[in-house]
């Protein structure tokens, strides 16, 4: 699933969804995903309601449908897998459109498709309304180890630099007429990867020295006010709490 990562992830805006503190949104999306996964798969209407709730959130955040749809490409490999399950599944067979499919596995495919899709949409909405940096700071507020958050921050900051470096190497290869077609071309690709590693590592060393000379002592200063009011928590909690209510009804 290497392709398709290069999207504009964040859509700037000033809607109430954008303004919520990152930790509230992060926890809300996590809770929503857990509730969705815990919902019994027979409750079709519950999944429909979840989709409506996500659509309402997207509308409140002014995230257009086409934006979400384009980013959902990421899910395609698992859609294929889900299509494959009923064909190789075990158990009682039913005939659909002339194909002999496993009934139990059809349920499983539906289960995976519905839950994965809802989870993907929720994540897309989170990334679309929250700056990547703020998501990580929010994660730190939620007690994710700060070293892990720092590593992720460096990764985010330098990802584009490294990707551009790789792109330049690719342009250089292709302008010399190279195109990877079979296994014999692996050495060329791998040598690029080796050069990329050396450049990344040396850049890391330079960054570290630059940080030390500016007084780095093991933790990064946070200048943002990350606190969230009870009201903001309640606003963010609306999504998972409604979902929880729906799940409760589906269990009755």
Partner 1 sequence: MHVPDGFFNAAVSVSAGVVAAAGVAVCLRGAKRELDDRTAPMAGLVAAFVFAVQMLNFPVAAGTSGHLLGGALAAILVGPYTGVLCIAVVLLVQGLFFADGGLTALGVNITLMGLVTVLVGWAVFRVVTKVARGKSAVAVAAFLAALLSVPASALAFTLLFWVGGTAPIDIAAVAGAMGGVHLLIGIGEGLITATTVGAVLAVRPDLVYGYRGMAPALIVNGQPVAPAAAQPVKGGAGPFLLAGLGVTAILASVVSYFASSSPDGLESVAEEKGFIGQAGDHSLGAWGLAEYGEANGVPLWIVGLVGVGITLLVAGAIGYAVRRKKSAVEA
Site for partner 1 in 22-81 (CB under 8 A): 26, 29-30, 33-34, 36-38, 71-72, 74-75, 77-78
Q: Minimum distance between the CB of residue 190 and partner 1, rounded to whole angstroms?
A: 3
Work out which of 52, 99, 156, 171 binds partner 1, going by CB under 8 A.
156
Spatial separation of the C-alpha atoms in residues 189 and 202, rounded to whole Å: 20
250 binds partner 1 (CB under 8 A): no
163: left (phi over 0), alpha (psi -120 to 50) or beta: alpha
- Cβ–Cβ < 8 Å for 149, 140: yes
Helix, strand, or coil (residue 96): strand
Spatial separation of the C-alpha atoms in residues 244 and 234, rounded to whole Å: 14
Pattern 192-231, partner 1, x by CB under 8 A = xxxxxxx-xx-xxx-xx--x------x-------------
Burial (CB count within 10 angstroms: exposed 0-12, middle 13-18, buried 19+), residue 95: exposed
Q: Minimum distance between the CB of residue 17 and partner 1, rounded to whole angstroms?
A: 16
Span of 54-62, 186-194, 222-230, 233-241 interacting with partner 1 by CB under 8 A: 186-194
- Cβ–Cβ < 8 Å for 105, 115: no
Q: Which residues contact 67 (CB under 8 A, 6 or more apart)?
A: 11, 128
Which 82-101 positions form the footprint of partner 1 (CB under 8 A)?
A: 85, 88-91
Residue (147 or 229) nearer to partner 1, CB: 147
Residue (229 or 248) nearer to partner 1, CB: 248
Residue (161 or 229) nearer to partner 1, CB: 161
Residue (60 or 72) nearer to partner 1, CB: 72
């Amino acid at each position: 699933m290497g392709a398709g990562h290069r999207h504009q992830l964040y859509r700037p805006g000033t809607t109430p969804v954008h303004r919520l503190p990152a930790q509230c949104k992060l926890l809300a999306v996590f809770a929503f995903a857990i509730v969705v996964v815990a919902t019994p798969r027979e409750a079709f209407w519950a999944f429909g309601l979840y989709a409506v709730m996500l659509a309402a959130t997207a509308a409140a955040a002014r995230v257009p449908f086409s934006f979400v749809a384009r980013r959902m490409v990421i899910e395609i490999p698992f859609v294929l897998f889900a299509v494959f399950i009923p064909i190789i599944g075990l158990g009682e067979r039913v005939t659909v459109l002339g194909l002999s499919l496993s009934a139990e596995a059809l349920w499983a495919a539906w289960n995976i498709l519905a839950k994965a899709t809802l989870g993907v949409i929720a994540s897309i909405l989170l990334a679309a309304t929250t700056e990547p940096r703020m998501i990580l700071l929010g994660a730190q507020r939620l007690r994710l180890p700060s070293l892990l958050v720092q590593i992720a921050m460096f990764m985010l900051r330098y990802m584009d630099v490294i990707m551009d470096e790789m792109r330049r190497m690719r342009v250089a290869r292709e302008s010399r007429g190279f195109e990877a077609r079979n296994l014999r071309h692996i050495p060329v690709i791998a040598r690029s990867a080796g050069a990329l590693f050396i450049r990344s590592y040396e850049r890391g060393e330079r960054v570290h020295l630059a940080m030390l000379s500016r007084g780095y002592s093991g933790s990064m200063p946070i200048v943002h006010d990350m606190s969230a009011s009870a009201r903001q928590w309640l606003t963010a909690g609306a999504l998972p709490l409604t979902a929880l209510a729906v799940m409760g009804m589906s269990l009755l």
